[in-house]
Amino acid sequence: MTKKMLIDAAHAEETRVVVMDGSRIEEFDFESQSRKQLRGNIYLAKVTRVEPSLQAAFIEYGGNRHGFLAFNEIHPDYYQIPLADREALTRELAEDDDEPTPPKRDRGRGRSRSKPAAREADPSIEASEDGEQGEAQDDNGHDDSHAEDRHGDDHEQVETVSSASVSDDDDDDMEEEVERRRRRLMRKYKIQDVIRRRQIMLVQVVKEERGNKGAALTTYLSLAGRYGVLMPNTDRGGGISRKIISATDRKRLKTIVQGLGVPKGLGLIVRTAGAKRTKAEISRDYEYLMRLWENIRDTTLNSVAPALIYEEEDLVKRAIRDLFDKDIDSVQVEGEAGYKEARDFMRMIMPSQAAKVMAYREPTPLFVAHRIEAQLSQIYSPVVPLRSGGYLVINQTEALVAIDVNSGKAT
């Protein structure tokens, strides 16, 4: 079956993207002009309130509500501590980098989540929540449920690459290592001792505003490219996605990453899309991310908080970057502006695939011509029929998504 990507960018109010495998929809995404995505955006922001009971801070970044920044999402560089303490902390972290990694948990089991970092940092929270919950909320309706948010929930799992060797002995999980270091810092410091009101920070949105809660933020930044993810303030070298299981590919990619000369203080993850890519392709993607980071730094130096520093790519570019793969035979784009944007972005990140981007200029709308509208109308139905005769009933609430499995005719 032919696989194709269809982009409906004919109307400025809304952009829609579909990946079709034959006549079946495999991926669907849309973006509305009235409700743009915040996740991935980087802001120069200001601390409005430090909440010791939550071990978190509320941040003014320019959104509709104040953002929520958990203590474990604050980089040590932002700690307001004496110079001698900072130097000692730097030495401690450097020594921590040199220590052997503790034995890993069995990967056959699911990766268990630790308790919320705020509770781990301050046992008194358990007792204070019942009596002070009203006081712990800010004017925008935030509460301690935000403390369970984790940076990197949507990142791919990775293995770290040692700067001195490409042996498989260095197969550390970067996410676990970074989280371990954050917990270590939180045991040593409390947010009220190291973070001050009106302090300026560079933050990134990791979770959208939802309900009466503001966006969840982090100071550990990440910039996604086609084949890699650059982490400008995660000093752990580089990594390979765990989804790349070929030993040959892993060894080759580790060698490529080491050859890039990633500066000290930065980290780079090779995504699954880079598994079969050449050194030139990965290097070009890395250089693009480094230029992007330099632009962010320059913009930050010339901005006054609160200010938007970097806006995540729009849907057309995200679709090319994240959804396109070598199995897709064509990318059809309706709308001249969208076509030019898709073509130019493809030429920049994947020049060899640029010929697959084609403009759709027929009088019949693109999605109607491919009989997609009828399928899209069923996407939001709470009832999902199964081939066996059974069906699912899906209901979403603010706290969870409930899925009821019914056998139907299969009994």
pLDDT tens, position by position, 377-396: 888 889 988 888 899 999 98
* Overall CATH class of domain 3-36+315-380: alpha beta
Closest CA to 17 of 341, 404, 354: 341
Helices (H) and strands (E) in the chain, counts: 11, 19
State yes or no: pLDDT of 87 exceeds 90.
no
Decide the pairing of beta strands 223-224 and 228-231: antiparallel
Would the pLDDT of 117 be above 90?
no
Q: Are 47 and 156 in contact (CB under 8 A)?
A: no
Q: Is the pLDDT of residue 210 over 90?
A: no
Most confident of 79-83, 132-136, 407-411: 79-83
Q: Are 152 and 175 a contacting pair, CB within 8 Å? A: yes
In 3-state terms, what secondary structure has residue 198? coil
Q: How far is CA 195 from CA 71, 79, 133, 157, 187, in A?
A: 9, 6, 22, 30, 15
Strands 391-396, 228-231: parallel, antiparallel or unpaired by DSSP?
unpaired
Q: Residue 99 has what DSSP assignment?
A: S
Domain ranges of the chain: 3-36+315-380, 42-310, 384-411
**Is the bond preceding residue 76 a cis peptide, omega within 30 degrees?**
no
Q: Which of 46-50, 97-101, 225-229, 369-373 has the lowest mean pLDDT?
A: 97-101
CA separation, residue 389 to residues 77, 375, 385 (Å): 57, 19, 7
Q: Nearest Cα to 254, choosing from 176, 169, 157, 167?
A: 167
User: Which pTM was predicted?
Assistant: 0.70
Give the confidence band of 333 by pLDDT, cuts at 50, 70, 90.
very high
pLDDT at 97: 53
| pLDDT score for 387 | 84
Q: Are 395 and 382 in contact (CB under 8 A)?
A: yes
Tell me 63's DSSP state.
Answer: S
Over range 113-121, report the average pLDDT.
Answer: 39
Spatial neighbors of 392 by CB under 8 A, at least 6 apart, are: 383, 384, 386, 403, 404, 405, 406
Task: Identify the pLDDT of residue 132.
Answer: 37
Question: Does the structural domain 42-310 have CATH classification 1.10.260.40?
Answer: no
Pairwise CA distance, residues 84 & 80, whole Å: 12
Which residue(s) pair with 35 in the sheet?
Answer: 32
**Alpha carbon distance 371, 23 (integer Å):** 8
The C-alpha atoms of residue 257 and residue 161 are separated, in whole angstroms, by 8
More confident residue, 268 or 167: 268
pLDDT at 28: 92
Contacts of 374 (CB under 8 A, 6+ apart): none
| Rounded Cα–Cα distance for residues 223 and 230 (Å) | 5
CA distance 254 to 215: 35
Asked whether the predicted pLDDT for residue 46 surpasses 90, the reply is yes
- CA dist 25 and 51 (Å) reads 46
The tens digit of pLDDT for each residue in 234-288 reads 766 567 888 888 888 888 888 888 888 888 888 888 888 888 888 888 888 898 8
Report residue 409's pLDDT band, with 50, 70 and 90 as the boundaries: low
122-137: average pLDDT: 38
Task: Return d(Cα 393, Cα 385) in angstroms, integer.
Answer: 9
